[in-house]
Amino acid sequence: MDVIPIDVTKCKWQVFQLSGPTHLTAIDWENFDHRASIAASLVQSVYINERDRQDHRLGSNALAPPWWEFFKFQQFLVLKDTNDQSVFASIYELQHCHHSHPSSAPKYVVAFRGTIKKPDTIFQDLKLDIQVILNHLQNASRFHLGMKAVEDIVAKAGADNVWLAGHCLGSAIALLIGRNMVKRGFLLQTYLFNPPYISLPLEPIKNEMFKFVVRYAKSLVTAAIAAVFGRRCETTLGSPEDPFTVLSGWIPNLFVNPSDPICCEYIGYFEHVQDMIKMGAGDIGSFAAKNSILSVILDACGMDSVTFHHIPSANVTKNGSPSKNLREAHGIHQWWSSNNLCLQHKLYKLE
Task: For residues 203 and 329, give the distance between their C-alpha atoms in angstroms, rounded to a whole number.
Answer: 13
Cβ atoms within 10 Å, residue 45: 31
Is residue 27 situated within a structural domain?
yes
- pLDDT for 231 equals 53
Domain-embedded: residue 141: yes
> What whole-number distance in Å separates Cα of residue 75 and Cα of residue 48?
13
Any idea what DSSP says for residue 37?
Answer: H
pTM: 0.88
- Structural domain includes residue 221: no
What's the mean pLDDT when you consider all of the chain? 85
For residue 17, tell me if it sits in a domain.
Answer: yes
Q: Which of 6, 32, 13, 21 is nearest to 251 (CA)?
A: 32
- Which own/partner pairs from 25-31 qualify as long-range (CB within 8 Å, at least 24 positions apart)? 27/71, 29/102, 29/103, 29/104, 29/105, 30/102, 30/104
Q: Please give the residue that has the higher pLDDT: either 332 or 4.
A: 332
- More confidently predicted of 349 and 75: 75
Mean pLDDT on 19-42:
95
Could you give the CA distance from residue 243 to residue 122 in angstroms, rounded to a whole number?
34
- Cα(82)–Cα(148) distance, rounded to whole angstroms? 14
In a domain, 12, yes or no: yes
Say yes or no to pLDDT of 4 above 80: no
The residue segments making up the domain with residue 172 are 8-193
The DSSP symbol for 248 reads T
Q: Using one digit for the tens of pLDDT, what is the confidence trace for 99-151? A: 567 788 999 999 999 999 999 999 999 999 999 988 889 999 999 999 999 99
pLDDT score at 199 = 81
**Backbone angles phi and psi of 35, in degrees to 5:** -65, -40
pLDDT given for residue 302 in this prediction: 59
| Percent of the chain predicted with pLDDT > 70 | 80
Domains of the chain: total: 1
pLDDT digits (tens, 9 = 90+) for 274-328: 766 666 555 666 666 666 666 666 665 655 556 778 888 999 999 988 888 999 9
Q: pLDDT tens digit string along 207-231?
A: 778 777 877 777 777 767 766 665 5
Does a structural domain hold residue 53? Answer: yes
- Residue 248 in any domain: the answer is no
Spatial distance between the Cα atoms of 15 and 37, rounded to a whole number of angstroms: 16
Q: Please tell me which residue, 79 or 350, carries the higher pLDDT value.
A: 79
Note the pLDDT of residue 174: 98
Q: What is the pLDDT of residue 237?
A: 45
Dist. CA 262–CA 331, nearest whole Å:
11
In a domain, 122, yes or no: yes
> What pLDDT does 279 receive?
66
